Chains A and B, each alone.
Chain A
């Protein structure tokens, strides 16, 4: 028994460096897979960051929009809103490519590794955090800013495609919709291969959700073209605006993400139940039986 214990500990040690790449704080109390500061931390942080970003821009607008934002040909506009436009496009592009790049690079190193149930559950919680962040970004792009867009454009002259309400909406949060939906897919593809691994194909759920974000951005171009050409009156409920709604409906694929990951969660619960019938096979980190046997055979 003592030898087996040492062998198991060694097996644990061998695996520990790789496991530490994932949920490196998972061992700490309160940071477990389903603890608020553990698996759920991504949800809290992700949702909060984007809400705060939207609020920060909104506060900026409160002090500047009516002063500098109504005449795009003025110097004041250039120093405020045009500058904001350039900085957010740059920051969003750099951030998006950086994050996607990180997900792909890191994901490739770990997609084929087996993980413990704890770890897989933690990843599903992180995944739900990313879906939650997607939901918040979709709210900011489809409700928070459009309310302002109606208020602004029915009041101020629409002089260019860069208005104080368009800049955070069309040119920051709409592209962030693409950032988060594609990023969430990359996370699912590499970190949750049992659900979204590439060998299954491309999930329809993500196809619809990502399509929603991409077509919304494409619709921005059509919207500005139309407004520059023949839609000169500021009425909101016109057929010309309806593609925004139709493309938005595609985001219903988000529900399938919750369902698919929940189904896997039930699958993990079943595996836990099945494994629990043979307690000796289960190590401290739930190391797989084959690995323990291999280590024992080697020693």
Chain B
């Protein structure tokens, strides 16, 4: 037994001194690729900064879309209740404000497949350190889908850190420790009363030897005749019980007088006001597009048949897949400023990236497969659905942007990596 303990401890010590790279993801890569792509699509995610003092804020904004391709195996195929939050290694940050389509979002919302939501979340630094945080979109019955993450530095605030909340009567309290001393004192007082009861019964009286007597008398008797339970025991127990009544009474009076106005916890569920969005400029012809994984060339290709229904030329600038955004290297300004941009070392090339107004064209997008497979674990080889799903962004010379969903079957040339 000791040897095992030693082995385990030695192993534990050894692994602590071995240097290791810090985790930059939050486990989203363990979610199946096809699900990450088919559930929600993230675009234009931007963090307003990457370093903040405790108590000061950063805002993340962007768009999140519940894809039309939402799988039927999740939330019975019909998302209807949703929530947004920040993924963080514990409450290293505090969520101070949250809006959805421009209105405040305290708790949950009604949602639907095919809807795109503009969101903003303002969070304050709380715990000093370097943290990887992501916006997240949760769908009831499915779980939490993770958006593009960024490293945030939270630095110490020399003036100290508090988390102020404002009561309806205007008073402010520090939520970091409001009522904390009272809660500790109260919990300790109840514990002390319990210990007094236990000590009363178990210290003056023996325990194990009682078995010799109790085994000879009926269950529903207190053995008073034999000295098991005495009149003194009854008296003191009643005193302790009454002391408990007094404690509870005192506590009740305290809370009634200190906090005369209380309300129950609130649930605020609503449908976010819809945002009028222009009709998509580009449509993808159904059944004519496909995705290919070329195992020899180590590329992932997306071939789409697209039609431009607008009055200006439409150029393909971005391809957003799950929490990643590929951008057209021929259009440097199309690189997203936020954390979802794929590194320029892994270029996306687009053949025939511009569609004339009213015209149709086959567009081929080529991306290195290393990112898909090794880094992001996004290519759904070995999963139960071989599809590639995402949002293609087209832009016109006048700056109009239009996102169109693409959801195509994936054909690998070989099942090798």
Direct contact of A and B (CB under 8 A): yes
Chain A residues with a Cβ under 8 A of chain B: 49, 53, 56-57, 60, 63-64, 66-77, 79-80, 83-84, 87-88, 90-92, 94-96, 98-99, 155-160, 172, 232-233, 259, 262-263, 265-266
Question: Do B22 and A158 touch across chains, with their CB atoms under 8 A apart?
Answer: no
In contact, A60 and B8 (Cβ under 8 angstroms)? no
Partner of A74, one of B1, B9, B21, B87: B21
A-B contacts at CB below 8 angstroms, number? 128
> Is A88 a contact of B11 with CB atoms below 8 Å?
yes
Residue contact B90 to A66, C-beta cutoff 8 Å: yes
Among B25-33, B233-241, B288-296, the one that faces the other chain is: B25-33
Cβ contact within 8 Å between A262 and B20 = no
Within 8 A of A (CB), among B366-398: 377
Most B-side CB within 10 Å, residue of A57, A94, A98, A232: A232
How close is B48's CB to chain A, nearest CB, in angstroms? Answer: 24
* Pairs A–B under 8 Å by Cβ, sample size 13: A53-B9, A64-B16, A66-B89, A71-B24, A74-B23, A84-B15, A94-B4, A95-B5, A98-B3, A155-B89, A156-B89, A157-B26, A232-B143
In the complex, B7 has a CB within 8 A of chain A: yes
In the complex, what residues of A have CB within 8 A of residue B21's CB?
Answer: 68, 74-76
Tell me which residues from 73 to 93 in chain B have a Cβ below 8 Å from any Cβ of chain A: 87, 89-91
A70 and B3: CB pair below 8 A? no
Q: Is the CB of A92 within 8 A of B87?
A: no
Given contacts A68-B23, A79-B18, A157-B146, contact A73 B12 (CB under 8 A): no
Q: In the docked arrangement, what's the CA distance between A292 and B29, Å?
A: 76
Which of chain A's residues have a CB closer than 8 A to the CB of B20? Answer: 67-68, 75-77, 79-80
The 9 closest A-B pairs by CB, nearest first: A95-B4, A159-B27, A87-B11, A76-B20, A232-B143, A159-B30, A157-B27, A71-B23, A91-B7
CB distance A157 to B12 under 8 Å? no
**Nearest A residue to B131, CB-CB:** A66
CA distance A285 to B8 in the complex (A): 41
Rounded to whole angstroms, the CA-CA distance of A259 and B214 in the bound complex is 13
1/0 contact string of B190-229 vs chain A (CB within 8 Å): 0000000000000000001001100000000000000000
| Complex-state Cα separation, A80 to B14, whole angstroms | 9
From A57, which residue of chain B is reached at the shortest CB distance?
A: B12
Contacts known (A49-B1, A95-B3); A84 close to B12, Cβ less than 8 A: yes
> In whole angstroms, what is the CA distance A90 to B144 when docked?
35
Which of A87, A96, A98 has most B Cβ within 10 Å?
A: A87
> A residues within 8 A CB of B87?
157
Across the interface, name the chain A residue whose C-beta is closest to B207: A262
Report how far A59 CA is from B360 CA in the complex, Å.
62
B142 an interface residue at 8 Å Cβ cutoff? yes
9 further interface pairs, Cβ-Cβ under 8 Å (given A76-B20, A99-B1): A53-B5, A68-B22, A70-B23, A72-B30, A74-B23, A74-B25, A94-B7, A155-B89, A159-B28
Is B8's CB under 8 angstroms from A71's CB?
no
Smallest distance from the beta carbon of A11 to chain B beta carbons, Å? 33
C-alpha gap A247/B315 in the complex (Å): 62
How many angstroms between the C-alpha atoms of A94 and B4 in the bound complex?
A: 7
- Whether B27 contacts A158 by the Cβ 8 Å rule is yes
Chain A residues within 8 Å of B2, by CB: 49
In whole angstroms, how far apart are the Cα atoms of A295 and B123 in the complex?
88
Provide the residues of chain B in CB contact with A64, threshold 8 Å: 15-16
Query: With A92-B4, A262-B211 in contact, do A83 and B11 touch (Cβ < 8 Å)?
Result: yes
Closest Cβ neighbor of B16 among chain A residues: A60
Interchain CA distance A71-B26 in the complex, whole Å: 5
In the assembled complex, the CB of B326 is this many whole angstroms from the nearest CB of chain A, namely 21
Q: Contacts A75-B20, A83-B11, A262-B208; is A70 near B26 (CB within 8 Å)?
A: yes
Report chain B residues within 8 Å CB of A94.
3-4, 7
Chain B contacts of A71 at CB under 8 A? 23-27, 29
Q: Is the CB of B22 within 8 A of A67?
A: yes
CB distance from B263 to the nearest CB of A (A): 24
Choose from A75, A83, A92, A233 the contact partner of B15 (Cβ within 8 Å).
A83
A49-B5, A68-B23, A92-B4 known; A56+B30 contact, CB < 8 A: no
